[in-house]
Structure 1
Amino acid sequence: MPTIRIVTDSTADIPKEIVEKWNIEVIPLSVVFSETESYEDGVTLTPEAFYEKIEKEDVIPTTSQPTPHQFEEVYRALKSEGAEVIFSIHLSSKLSGTYQAATIAQASLEDEVDVRVVDSRQASYAIGIMVAEMAELAYENKPVADLEARLDELTKDTNVYFLVDTLHFLQKNGRIGKASAILGSLLKVKPILSLSEEGEVYPLDKARGPKKAISRIVEIIKEQYGDSPIHIGASHALNEELANELVQRVKQECQVESVVMTTIGAVIGAHVGPGTVSISCTKATTK
């Protein structure tokens, strides 16, 4: 069987232990505070240092995707290690140029190595939940056809739902409209956000306060997955208590097979802000 490797980017917010366990290659995006101050997400800037910095300096940084050259270097390095097929799974193309940069690199290397670039149409651990399972299959030397079939299921069955403390970050970075940002600041309304089938942020529902928002998210997940076994991943930006509460509620109501807790990294954090909590879900395989 061909040797298969999995590549993703830092917006997948995959815990380090999972990256190391399944030999996942992670390409960092950059967080830019000024012309002279930028950091590599998860490499030279930890999530903890990032949130401390934006709180102290009261600044919303910009972000930038890797260059095609960075992708080429990674793909070539993996080929030199023996990779014959590379699945490169990335942040929604509606939110970043990362996917486009990867496809440019893919085209430049099409005669050298079999790279399959995938637009996850997701963000944060909704990407990670897909990548981790693909990497496990690759690590177990499953056939390429098995990975392709499972990836097709994952892209159809994975959803993410999230709450933000404020819509200011999303509005400032152009990820959600001003009208929605104003709505979210009124009467303690908590918009429940998700990503559309095309991979764009949109307000799915709303609730008064975080407790009712959690209850509504659990209802949505139950409606979406019914009694099917699911994998879940909870992500948070300095809001572990609420993330744990959300996980416990989902476990009470749904057939949860596995749970991963992770911290939202600097790039996603720059767009959603501190206090954000999200939950990513996908159907487990039926064996």
Structure 2
Amino acid sequence: MNKIALITDSISDLNKEIVDNYNIKVLPLKIIYKGKEFLDRINITPKDVYDRMPEEVPTTSLPSMDEINNLYIDLEKEDYTHAIAIPVSSNLSGTFNAIKLISDDHPKINTHVFDSKLISIGEGIIVEQCAKLISGGNPFDKIIELLPSIRDKVHLYYLVDTLEYLKKGGRIGKVSGAIGQLLNIKPIISLDEEGTYYTVAKTRGKKQAINKLLSIVQEIVEKCKCKVYVMHGGAEEECKKLFNVVSKFPNITSLYTGEISPAAGVHTGPGLLGIALFEE
């Protein structure tokens, strides 16, 4: 009988209840301050990172090959026959390739590494839906077949307070050319079909940016029923206000809120607001 493991990384921003309920294997990324390493969400919190950013911006690193290899050794001991790995977009991190390389060294476990082409809870939504399919007893091949259609139902948008951190981290993607150097321009960004950042809209000032973000969300939820996730990185009070406005929109089947992983937040900076939607 097949036993399917589900693997993701800590950037997926899944809450502990979902991780524990579906026994999802989460590989933590590393947050590095001047030679001192922390494991994302294990011994450092998002708030720790955002609060410290004015003084020091850390670097990040994907899970080590040893950590991924040890996970596979454990999966073999637990008699897993198959694994589905859903990491952050391969155009934003080397985690996808690292898992693929290590999984090739463990042929006893039939592994499919699926490129989410997303980040944060956008990636997490795919992981959660995959977990439900595994829990429901669906065959491995059928689940793999369904993953692209699940990804197509995810909408993800971020309001970035500053481009400084995306530029520093080299994750600017297709954003910089689209916004120019205009004063106080706040871009709303998403990820394209290649899993690279691009500009959805640009507005002058954060208030207008929030209104534009809300209009984008409203347009989607008026067409279909959606699960909605309102996220933030170092912007808790603004996130609460955004959550309250979104809660009044039609066709929302469930509404969640949470913090964006510091491994992602390092590259976007504080003041980040994000909304993800999953068409049901």
Query: Normalising by structure 2, what TM-score?
Result: 0.90
Deviates more, 1:115-124 or 1:61-70: 61-70
Residues 33-68 of structure 1, C-alpha deviations (whole Å, 9 max, x = no match): 22x31211111211122223323xx22221111233
CA–CA separation in structure 2 for the residues paired with 1:129 and 1:120: 10
Deviates more, 1:157-166 or 1:43-52: 43-52
The structural deviation recorded for 1:213 is 1.9
1:245 maps to 2:244: no
Residue segments in structure 2 that go unaligned for 5+ positions in a row: none
Instruction: Check conservation: 1:5, 1:135, Cα contact below 8 A.
Output: no
The structural deviation recorded for 1:182 is 11
CA–CA separation in structure 1 for the residues paired with 2:175 and 2:145: 40
CA–CA separation in structure 1 for the residues paired with 2:263 and 2:119: 10
CA–CA separation in structure 2 for the residues paired with 1:179 and 1:234: 22
Q: Which position in structure 1 is the counterpart of 2:85?
A: 88
Shift in CA distance, 197/90, structure 1 to aligned 2, threshold 3 Å: same
Higher helix share: 1
Instruction: Check conservation: 2:174, 2:199, Cα contact below 8 A.
Output: no
Q: Which position in structure 2 is the counterpart of 1:14?
A: 14
Instruction: Check conservation: 1:168, 1:181, Cα contact below 8 A.
Output: no
The structural deviation recorded for 1:133 is 1.9
Residue segments in structure 1 that go unaligned for 5+ positions in a row: none
Matches within 5 A, 1:102-117: 102-109=99-106, 111-117=107-113
CA–CA separation in structure 1 for the residues paired with 2:7 and 2:174: 35
CA–CA separation in structure 2 for the residues paired with 1:207 and 1:100: 36
The structural deviation recorded for 1:121 is 0.5
CA–CA separation in structure 2 for the residues paired with 1:262 and 1:105: 31
The structural deviation recorded for 1:280 is 1.3
Shift in CA distance, 167/19, structure 1 to aligned 2, threshold 3 Å: same
CA–CA separation in structure 1 for the residues paired with 2:246 and 2:60: 32
CA–CA separation in structure 2 for the residues paired with 1:62 and 1:181: 24
Q: Which position in structure 2 is the counterpart of 1:59?
A: 56
Residues 66-91 of structure 1, C-alpha deviations (whole Å, 9 max, x = no match): 23332222123123223222110001
The structural deviation recorded for 1:226 is 4.6
The structural deviation recorded for 1:241 is 2.7
The structural deviation recorded for 1:157 is 1.8
- Percentage of matched positions with identical amino acids: 33
Query: Normalising by structure 1, what TM-score?
Result: 0.88
Amino acid across the alignment from 2:231: S
Deviates more, 1:246-255 or 1:124-133: 246-255
SS in 1 for 2:267: helix
CA–CA separation in structure 2 for the residues paired with 1:256 and 1:12: 22
1:167 maps to 2:163: yes
Amino acid across the alignment from 1:88: A
The structural deviation recorded for 1:124 is 0.8
SS in 2 for 1:96: coil
Amino acid across the alignment from 1:229: K
Instruction: Check conservation: 1:90, 1:127, Cα contact below 8 A.
Output: yes
SS in 1 for 2:278: strand
Instruction: Check conservation: 1:167, 1:181, Cα contact below 8 A.
Output: no
SS in 2 for 1:60: coil
Shift in CA distance, 181/168, structure 1 to aligned 2, threshold 3 Å: farther
Q: Which position in structure 1 is the counterpart of 2:28?
A: 28
Q: What CA RMSD, in Å, does the superposition of the two structures yield over aligned residues? A: 2.4
CA–CA separation in structure 1 for the residues paired with 2:87 and 2:56: 27
SS in 1 for 2:215: helix
Q: Which position in structure 2 is the counterpart of 1:198?
A: 194
CA–CA separation in structure 2 for the residues paired with 1:17 and 1:278: 21
Shift in CA distance, 146/260, structure 1 to aligned 2, threshold 3 Å: farther
Instruction: Check conservation: 2:226, 2:254, Cα contact below 8 A.
Output: yes
The structural deviation recorded for 1:29 is 1.0
Q: Which position in structure 2 is the counterpart of 1:262?
A: 258
